[in-house]
Chain A
Amino acid sequence: MLAAYLQYWRINVLTMLEYRANFIMWFAFSIVYHGVAIGALFVTMRAFPSMNGWSFREMFFLYALWMTGHELHNTLFFNVVSVPEYVREGRFDRFLVRPLDTLFQVLTVPSQTMPDSLILAIVTLCVATGVAGVHVDAPYVLAVIAVVAGGALIDLGISLVVATISFWFVRVDTLRWVVMSLEQDFTRYPISIYTRGVRVVLAFIFPFAFMNYFPATYFLGKTETGLHLDPAVGLLTPLIGLAWFAVSYAFWRVGLRRYQGTGS
């Protein structure tokens, strides 16, 4: 399985070398995508310097933390997003008759994925850590890596749920797009700006708040979590990520058992 996985990355690199212009264009897109988000935040917070006690520098850190987890997900697990397409075209059936785990096969369809955006995210996170004045020591580095990994798992859980839904409802493109953009929009701000019900949803149902808000609260030494929780809950992100992934994986297995194909 490891050999197959290494082969997958070898093919990705070769594809990248073959389509260099395309690679550069998509990298430019990543820069613009995040640049626009951070730019909008900067302009907004120049006019309104405080958002529930968060300054631009802290908001930048909040964004960078989400961005890194999200890009780690995009680098390792992005193919999950293509499952509805495979299902629609009947290509998904192929994975079912091969001897390796279905999810593993989905994750290793050659896809022109490169870790360029992840590197961009890590650089951004380093800059943001400096800008926000977070105290950096060995425990911080370990904690931040764990949080980012947990964040990627939370993201994977969501993609997997959307992918599984496509076993029943074939067309889920809009849903997928909406979930992705709402995730980006709602994780951009401290959850304390939302009403109580939405905070609870973001913390405990779709636990996006664990991708960046709770950990950022902890790292920045803030005391208010918006839900009367100890800021140290931010360190639970890896566990939440694992739990959320386990649940979504179970759902995926149920979906697989019910899967009937589209006849195409």
Chain B
Amino acid sequence: MEVATEVGSLVLRVYLLRSLWTALYTQNLAPLNLPLHSMITYATVALLMSLILEVDGTRLIREKLREGTIATDLMKPISVPFYFFSDGIGQTGLHAVLVIPSLLFSLLLVRIDVPRPEVIGAFLLSFALGYCVNFFLNFLMNSIAFWTLETFAIQLIVRWVSDLLSGQVIPLTLFPGLLGRLVFALPFAAIYSTPLLIYVGVIAPAQWAGAFAMQIVWLTLFAGLSTLVWRAGSRRVVIQGG
């Protein structure tokens, strides 16, 4: 029943995006670099990606901190952050299975462009980088629980802002002028926007290297920050005695 609800809701959303963009493109001047079929491809692939990216593998941190069981985890001879990462991958894998039925049902409603194999390869690489950036963003948000246990509201706020600024809701290319330059400069763009714009060809092969580099910069920064926060946080746990 859970699976049916999730797939069903995704298909309804695909229907919605088709209606929305079709209506907008028939009555307005289309942007030059994003014709209707690219826009529909973009939005559909973004939805399928969200099946994977909306899994918060690091939620465990918050729960374990609340219940105090983190103390026993810290005693075990393993890297605890790595344990969370593996757990996240496992949950993601489970959700990734949903992509297949969702894609098949979506194809009844919309046509998705299939780019050349090397573009798909670049997309997948970029998606993997984006997945890691997203993981560390979640990790940082959940680590706030080391200091204050009420983190759920903060986390939802970041998630909502991130959905808009990462290009999940609308392509960042639609943001005008200065605002547009700003959203591309933020780390959120590395999560959805970069892989998606590679997929629809707005980021041309010549610019791939630059796009990957940017994602790697954010990834390194977030991973570094997570390490620092984790060290400071776990020292506090020791002081509190769990």
Contacts and interface: CB of A to CB of B under 8 A. Distances in A.
A33 B158 CA distance: 10
A39 B15 contact: no
Nearest to B24: A48
B27 interface: yes
Interface size class of A (residues with CB under 8 A): 35 or more
A40 B24 CA distance: 14
B160 A32 contact: yes
A182 B20 contact: no
B225 interface: no
B9 A43 contact: no
A195 B23 CA distance: 11
Nearest to B176: A46
Contact of A171 (B1, B16, B23, B150): B1
Given A22-B153, A36-B164, A195-B19, A174 B175 contact: no
Given A47-B31, A185-B13, A32 B150 contact: no
A36 B162 CA distance: 10
B100 interface: no
B28 interface: yes
Given A39-B164, A171-B2, A178-B9, A29 B156 contact: yes
B153 A28 contact: yes
A44 to B, nearest CB: 6
A178 B6 contact: yes
Interface in A233-253: none
Interface of B: 1-2, 5-6, 8-9, 12-13, 15-16, 19-20, 22-25, 27-28, 31, 148, 150, 153-154, 156-157, 160-161, 163-164, 169-170, 174-176, 179
Interface of A: 21-22, 25-26, 28-29, 32-33, 36, 39-40, 43-44, 46-53, 169, 171, 174-175, 178, 181-182, 185-186, 189, 193-195, 198
Given A48-B24, A50-B27, A198-B19, 15 more contacts: A25-B154, A28-B157, A29-B157, A33-B156, A40-B169, A43-B170, A43-B175, A49-B28, A52-B23, A169-B1, A174-B5, A178-B6, A178-B9, A182-B12, A193-B23
6 A-B pairs with least C-beta separation: A25-B153, A193-B23, A48-B24, A178-B9, A48-B28, A47-B174
28 contacts: A22-B150, A22-B153, A25-B150, A25-B154, A28-B153, A29-B160, A36-B161, A40-B170, A43-B174, A43-B179, A46-B176, A47-B28, A47-B176, A48-B25, A49-B28, A50-B28, A51-B23, A51-B24, A51-B27, A52-B27, A171-B2, A174-B5, A174-B6, A178-B5, A178-B9, A189-B23, A198-B15, A198-B19
